[in-house]
Amino acid sequence: KNQVEQSPQSLIILEGKNCTLQCNYTVSPFSNLRWYKQDTGRGPVSLTIMTFSENTKSNGRYTATLDADTKQSSLHITASQLSDSASYICVVSKMGGSQGNLIFGKGTKLSVKP
Protein backbone atom coordinates (compact mmCIF):
# COMPACT_ATOMS: atom_id res chain seq x y z
CA LYS A 1 0.00 0.00 0.00
CA ASN A 2 1.32 3.46 -0.87
CA GLN A 3 1.84 5.32 2.37
CA VAL A 4 3.53 8.42 3.71
CA GLU A 5 4.40 8.45 7.40
CA GLN A 6 5.59 11.54 9.24
CA SER A 7 7.23 12.04 12.60
CA PRO A 8 6.94 13.48 15.09
CA GLN A 9 3.20 14.06 15.11
CA SER A 10 3.75 17.34 16.93
CA LEU A 11 6.73 19.35 18.11
CA ILE A 12 7.25 22.37 20.34
CA ILE A 13 10.47 24.37 20.10
CA LEU A 14 11.72 27.74 21.29
CA GLU A 15 12.12 30.61 18.88
CA GLY A 16 15.57 30.67 17.32
CA LYS A 17 16.15 26.93 17.64
CA ASN A 18 16.53 24.48 14.77
CA CYS A 19 14.39 21.41 14.18
CA THR A 20 14.13 18.47 11.79
CA LEU A 21 10.95 16.78 10.64
CA GLN A 22 10.94 13.27 9.20
CA CYS A 23 9.04 11.60 6.38
CA ASN A 24 9.15 7.94 5.39
CA TYR A 25 7.28 6.64 2.38
CA THR A 26 6.49 3.38 0.67
CA VAL A 27 5.15 4.88 -2.55
CA SER A 28 6.44 3.08 -5.62
CA PRO A 29 7.37 3.82 -8.29
CA PHE A 30 8.45 7.18 -6.94
CA SER A 31 8.17 10.38 -8.95
CA ASN A 32 8.73 13.29 -6.60
CA LEU A 33 8.41 14.41 -3.00
CA ARG A 34 7.07 17.73 -1.79
CA TRP A 35 6.99 19.52 1.52
CA TYR A 36 4.07 21.85 2.19
CA LYS A 37 3.46 24.30 5.01
CA GLN A 38 -0.15 24.65 6.13
CA ASP A 39 -1.10 27.46 8.47
CA THR A 40 -4.23 26.95 10.55
CA GLY A 41 -7.31 27.65 8.45
CA ARG A 42 -5.32 28.00 5.26
CA GLY A 43 -4.49 25.82 2.30
CA PRO A 44 -1.08 24.15 2.01
CA VAL A 45 1.75 26.18 0.47
CA SER A 46 4.60 24.45 -1.33
CA LEU A 47 8.08 24.71 0.19
CA THR A 48 10.10 22.31 -1.96
CA ILE A 49 9.67 19.74 -4.70
CA MET A 50 12.37 17.08 -5.18
CA THR A 51 12.74 14.44 -7.83
CA PHE A 52 14.57 11.13 -7.63
CA SER A 53 17.94 12.63 -8.54
CA GLU A 54 17.87 15.47 -6.02
CA ASN A 55 19.32 14.95 -2.56
CA THR A 56 18.95 18.41 -1.07
CA LYS A 57 16.89 21.47 -1.83
CA SER A 58 16.73 24.71 0.13
CA ASN A 59 14.14 27.45 0.34
CA GLY A 60 15.36 30.14 2.69
CA ARG A 61 15.57 28.71 6.21
CA TYR A 62 13.99 25.44 5.02
CA THR A 63 16.23 22.62 3.75
CA ALA A 64 14.75 19.36 2.52
CA THR A 65 16.76 16.18 2.00
CA LEU A 66 15.81 13.06 0.12
CA ASP A 67 17.27 9.57 0.24
CA ALA A 68 15.45 7.65 -2.49
CA ASP A 69 17.23 4.42 -1.56
CA THR A 70 15.92 4.35 2.00
CA LYS A 71 12.73 6.24 1.02
CA GLN A 72 13.26 8.89 3.62
CA SER A 73 13.08 12.65 3.57
CA SER A 74 13.64 15.32 6.16
CA LEU A 75 12.80 18.99 6.45
CA HIS A 76 15.23 21.05 8.49
CA ILE A 77 14.18 24.45 9.76
CA THR A 78 16.96 26.78 10.82
CA ALA A 79 16.66 29.64 13.33
CA SER A 80 12.92 29.10 13.81
CA GLN A 81 10.53 32.04 13.96
CA LEU A 82 7.10 32.34 15.52
CA SER A 83 5.63 32.41 12.02
CA ASP A 84 6.98 28.91 11.40
CA SER A 85 4.20 27.57 13.64
CA ALA A 86 2.13 25.46 11.26
CA SER A 87 1.59 21.92 10.04
CA TYR A 88 4.26 20.60 7.69
CA ILE A 89 3.01 18.01 5.26
CA CYS A 90 5.10 15.56 3.25
CA VAL A 91 3.54 14.62 -0.08
CA VAL A 92 4.72 11.93 -2.47
CA SER A 93 3.77 11.58 -6.10
CA LYS A 94 3.69 8.18 -7.76
CA MET A 95 5.25 7.85 -11.19
CA GLY A 96 2.64 7.30 -13.83
CA GLY A 97 -0.15 8.30 -11.51
CA SER A 98 -2.32 11.28 -12.23
CA GLN A 99 -0.92 14.56 -11.00
CA GLY A 100 -3.92 14.94 -8.79
CA ASN A 101 -3.29 11.70 -6.99
CA LEU A 102 -0.66 13.00 -4.61
CA ILE A 103 -0.29 10.93 -1.45
CA PHE A 104 -0.28 13.15 1.63
CA GLY A 105 1.16 12.42 5.04
CA LYS A 106 -0.80 13.47 8.11
CA GLY A 107 1.63 16.27 8.84
CA THR A 108 3.77 17.38 11.76
CA LYS A 109 2.30 20.19 13.83
CA LEU A 110 5.10 22.57 14.80
CA SER A 111 4.66 25.17 17.53
CA VAL A 112 7.37 27.78 17.97
CA LYS A 113 7.23 29.48 21.36
CA PRO A 114 8.85 32.80 22.32
Partner 1 sequence: GAGVSQTPSNKVTEKGKYVELRCDPISGHTALYWYRQSLGQGPEFLIYFQGTGAADDSGLPNDRFFAVRPEGSVSTLKIQRTERGDSAVYLCASSLDTGAVTEAFFGQGTRLTVV
| Contacts to partner 1 by CB under 8 A | 4, 31-32, 41-46, 49, 51, 89, 91, 93, 95, 98-102, 104-107
- Full strand arrangement of the beta sheet holding 19-25: 4-7, 19-25, 72-77, 62-67, 56-59
Distance CA 71, CA 82 (A): 30
Please identify, using beta-carbon distances, which residue of 82 and 95 lies nearer to partner 1. 95
Nearest to partner 1 of 4, 19 (CB atom): 4
Least distance in Å: CB of 57 to partner 1? 11
CB of 95 to partner 1, least distance (A): 7
* Residue 110: burial class (beta carbons within 10 Å; 0-12, 13-18, 19+): buried
